[in-house]
């Protein structure tokens, strides 16, 4: 874990747009908060459990579509639509994850989850009567006020995105410090030894996959009213690949890595206002350098240096 100074900096970055930022800064902070929340949720299955799942963007989009349809077509309250969308994602991920992890796993899990993600995207793109097809859906609602907070403004929606980020961060911290989290790390390092020690390997991996997918769907629920539009491109596997780049850059399997990776991967190019082509080239070079010289990612290097510094003081 990064030093307390790092968490203080993180808190300052969260508060800046809400307290005195321009509309652009608030919008940028909203996007970064959602991307960081997604990266944290993916880190649970890829970083802690070591499972290469490629369906994260699909559950992100499923959460957005399910919640939007519940609110607009069935009149469900937005705050009730969130757990319902998460429950749907949880059941769906369990149905996909169990056979994939029970009978295959490894690279086969990546292929199966990638295939599911593409199937989900094609269903959304072709189910015109429900999803609007390739044209997508306009989202014309704002979340109802909660605890006196208004979510109809840009700062209110920024608060919604930050709330999603804090929920994902809290879940990640609880898992990292729990017996379940230590079991996931044992499974990641050596499945045979973990099984010999009495750990239900399939159960642990499946639980991590389900939790990760449900959190992605939760963030998707916030995406719909924040962006006021959802389309099948939201389920594109390219989004998952970008998140994997974030984890590699920041430090996969660390608590702070997804946040650091998001700030660099998405925040830095946006603030520099470089074109999409140059952005991908720059980020590609950065990822190659990180893999070569910092295989544990930025957060991993910071953690190791902090540990050495503490040993030096002892």
Per-residue pLDDT reduced to its tens digit, 142-173 = 999 888 888 988 888 999 999 999 999 999 99
Q: Over 50: is that where the pLDDT of 2 sits?
A: no
Q: Over 60: is that where the pLDDT of 4 sits?
A: no
How crowded is residue 74: how many other Cβ atoms within 10 Å of its Cβ? Answer: 9
Reported as half-sphere exposure (CB side, CA atoms, 13 A), residue 246 has a value of 31
The structure's pTM equals: 0.90
How crowded is residue 280: how many other Cβ atoms within 10 Å of its Cβ? Answer: 14
Please report the pLDDT score of residue 260 as a whole number: 85
Strand, coil or helix: what is 82? helix
Task: Say which residue, 64 or 246, is predicted with more confidence.
Answer: 64
Output the furthest CA–CA distance in the chain (Å, rounded): 66
Q: Over 70: is that where the pLDDT of 311 sits?
A: no
Strands 229-230 and 137-138: antiparallel
Span 216-226, pLDDT tens digits? 999 999 999 99
Cβ atoms 30, 11 nearer than 8 A: no
Q: Over 50: is that where the pLDDT of 3 sits?
A: no
Q: Looking at residues 172-183, what average pLDDT do you find?
A: 94
Q: Over 80: is that where the pLDDT of 272 sits?
A: no
Q: Which residues contact 177 (CB under 8 A, 6 or more apart)?
A: none
How crowded is residue 144: how many other Cβ atoms within 10 Å of its Cβ? Answer: 11
């Amino acid at each position: 874990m990064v030093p307390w100074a790092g968490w203080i900096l993180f808190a300052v970055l969260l508060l800046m747009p809400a307290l005195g930022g321009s509309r652009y800064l608030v919008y940028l902070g909203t996007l970064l908060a959602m991307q960081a929340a997604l990266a944290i949720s993916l880190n649970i299955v890829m970083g802690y459990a070591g499972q290469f799942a490629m369906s994260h963007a699909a559950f992100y989009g499923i959460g957005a579509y399910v919640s939007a349809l519940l609110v607009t077509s069935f009149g469900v309250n937005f705050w009730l639509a969130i757990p319902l969308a998460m429950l749907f994602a949880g059941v769906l991920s369990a149905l996909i994850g169990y056979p994939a992890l029970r009978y295959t796993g490894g690279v086969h899990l990546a292929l199966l989850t990638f295939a599911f993600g593409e199937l989900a995207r094609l269903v959304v793109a072709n189910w015109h009567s429900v999803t609007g097809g390739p044209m997508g859906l306009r989202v014309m609602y704002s979340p109802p006020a909660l605890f006196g907070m208004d979510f109809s403004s840009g700062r209110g929606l920024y608060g919604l995105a930050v709330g999603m980020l804090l929920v994902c961060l809290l879940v990640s911290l609880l898992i990292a410090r729990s017996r379940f989290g230590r079991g996931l790390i044992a499974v990641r390092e050596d499945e045979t030894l973990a099984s010999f020690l009495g750990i239900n390997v399939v159960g642990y991996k499946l639980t991590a996959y389900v939790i990760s997918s449900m959190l992605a769907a939760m963030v998707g629920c916030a995406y719909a009213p924040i962006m006021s539009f959802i389309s099948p491109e939201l389920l594109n596997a390219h989004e998952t690949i970008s998140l994997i780049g974030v984890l590699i850059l920041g430090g996969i399997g660390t608590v702070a890595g997804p946040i650091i990776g998001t700030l660099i991967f998405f925040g830095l190019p946006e603030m520099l206002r470089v074109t999409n082509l140059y952005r991908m080239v720059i980020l590609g070079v950065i990822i190659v350098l990180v893999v070569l010289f910092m295989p544990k990612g930025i957060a991993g290097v910071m953690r190791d240096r902090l540990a050495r510094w503490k040993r030096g003081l002892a």
